[in-house]
Structure 1
């Protein structure tokens, strides 16, 4: 089987099929376990080796994990292996893993697994295209991921039909130039209703992908912080809240720092006591005697 090319503007991602509900349940379980242990001391191949026995054997996930494990042992990366399984993993899942494995990015792998867990749980609860779009787009915004590659990956999700995919691909040229609330309002049923009420034809407009509720929320949040729009949409549409990166735990470095400070204080106190007893030998601080000093670095 020839390797698949990474998704791009000229090479849109291959669209898979919507999986059975049991597959998404097991995916959510796997991503939850990986999220809990990905930041630990165990490499990803050891985690896959251990967790492949914990997922339900009647699903296709164990076979996918077997392939991932084989590829990870050779290349050390999950992203290329997931891209080969485009019929099982969505392009957006693969994109998140690719970004978490990038050397120059700040998107952590445990954050990617947490996002994928929330997305799989939402699919179990009968996700709709509008809620899935807002969830995935908010993931791109909050984690400062590339809009171009991220929207391209989103367009290949099987939950979107051709109209959705074409509109999502067109967003790449509009994001940053037009307010996002305006973009949502102009493809909503609320905008079409306003056109009809004003006696203006709606032909050539659209496509009208979002409902009347989404259009009203977008209109009410024009020229505001996009976080207010995302928060309102999440409350009313019921899609899962986007996981936020956990702040770094600074307490892990606190004890070593305190130990070094105590060592420096002890050295200073020792020098003060020697000076008070008039027994301080300053020759040990000479260049030729510096090897005799046992001061902390």
Structure 2
């Protein structure tokens, strides 16, 4: 699998605007209608308008966006796709509005001065706080373009250790503090792996051993300015709940119609995709 390249800053700025506006307007309008309007609002000098075209096509065809995002893996990261896929899973409790909020927050962070440490902790907290699957989530995280080979190897390693080893310990042993404290006892033939976190992160992790990982995340945010995972406001508005249920029924109806067409001899894709403006899938 080829390494995904990071995008220019303006792409992340426009992505953050897209995710924010989509979440805000979906309370009263269908997602594909909102996306079509947002296509004209975002900067035409970015790749986002073409990506929106492709998303709209998949929404019309399948009623979901995550398959299109997976095909556009050179533009959307695997973790972005993972969040949307989890939100579109009708058996789960993770909703699309929460996913869009997380996507907006992460895109805003990337538009600034992101670090591998900040992205890792944000994504891990998003998985932990929303009770998403660690196995699939960490696998998606490992392919993020901000992580080098050492990071990817470590993320895939801890994927098998979550639940058996305290998260604070996992962070501590890859910190500069651990290297400083244990380095003098290291075997010359088996050197310690390079640190991924600084000495301050190591001290905070050491102080939060055997505690709820959310306390560790909070301490990193307070003391070192790590990006925080905000929680969406819970709406008790009956009208919003009715609209949400209506959208879900519309999606189910669309899928039933597509299954009927397929059983009658196939689906005519020309109904859903135009000849122009389509963003081609990634070759990687």
1:33 maps to what in 2? 21
Q: Give yes or no for the alignment of 1:243 onto 2:230.
A: yes
Q: Which runs of 4+ in 1 moved over 6 A?
A: none
Who is 2:37 aligned against?
A: 50
Q: Quick one: distance in 1 between partners of 2:223 and 2:43?
A: 34
CA 1:200 to 1:171, structure 2 compared with 1: closer, same or farther past 3 Å?
closer
Quick one: distance in 1 between partners of 2:119 and 2:149?
A: 15
Compute the displacement of 1:199 (Å).
4.3
Asked whether 1:189 is paired with 2:184, we answer no
Question: Are residues 1:18 and 2:9 paired?
Answer: no
Q: What is the RMSD of the two structures over their aligned residues, measured on CA atoms? A: 1.6
Any conservation in 1 of the 2:23–2:97 contact (CA below 8 Å)?
yes
Cα offset, 1:183, TM superposition = 0.4
Cα deviation digits, residues 206-246 of structure 1 (max 9, x gap): 34111111111101111122221110111233232102143
2:38 and 2:230 map into 1 onto residues whose CA distance is: 23
1:76 to 43, 58, 63: 63
From 65, 75, 79, give the equivalent of 1:92: 79
**Larger Rg over CA atoms:** 1
Q: Please give the TM-score of this superposition, normalised by the length of structure 1.
A: 0.77
Determine whether 1:252 maps to 2:241: no
Counterpart mapping for 1:111-122 below 5 A: 111-122=98-109
Instruction: Summarize the alignment of residues 1-297 of structure 1 with structure 2, pairs less than 5 Å apart.
Output: 15-38=3-26, 40-196=27-183, 198-201=184-187, 203-249=190-236, 252=238
Number of matched residues? 238
Which has the bigger relative contact order, CA under 8 A and spacing at least 6? Answer: 2
Deviation at 1:69, TM superposition (A): 1.1
Return 200-209 or 176-185, whichever deviates more: 200-209
1:111–1:243 Cα contact (<8 Å) kept: no
Q: Is the 8 A contact 1:129 1:159 kept in 2?
A: yes
Per mean C-alpha deviation after superposition, the further-off stretch among 226-235 and 114-123 is 226-235
Using the alignment, how far apart are the partners of 1:97 and 1:127 within structure 2? 22
Q: Report Cα offsets for 1:63-96 as digits up to 9, x if no partner.
A: 1111111121111110000000000000000000
Contact 2:101-2:232 at 8 Å conserved across structures = no
Q: Following the alignment from structure 2 to structure 1, what is the Cα–Cα distance between the partners of residues 223 and 120? A: 14
* Aligned 8 A contact 1:29 1:117 in 2: yes
Q: Distance in 2 between matches of 1:201 and 1:238?
A: 35
Separation (CA, whole Å) in 1 of partners of 2:98 and 2:122: 15
| SS class of match (1:52) | helix
Aligned-partner Cα distance in 2 for 1:155–1:252: 40
Q: Distance in 2 between matches of 1:93 and 1:192?
A: 33
Helix, strand or coil at the partner of 1:53: helix
TM-score by length of 2: 0.80
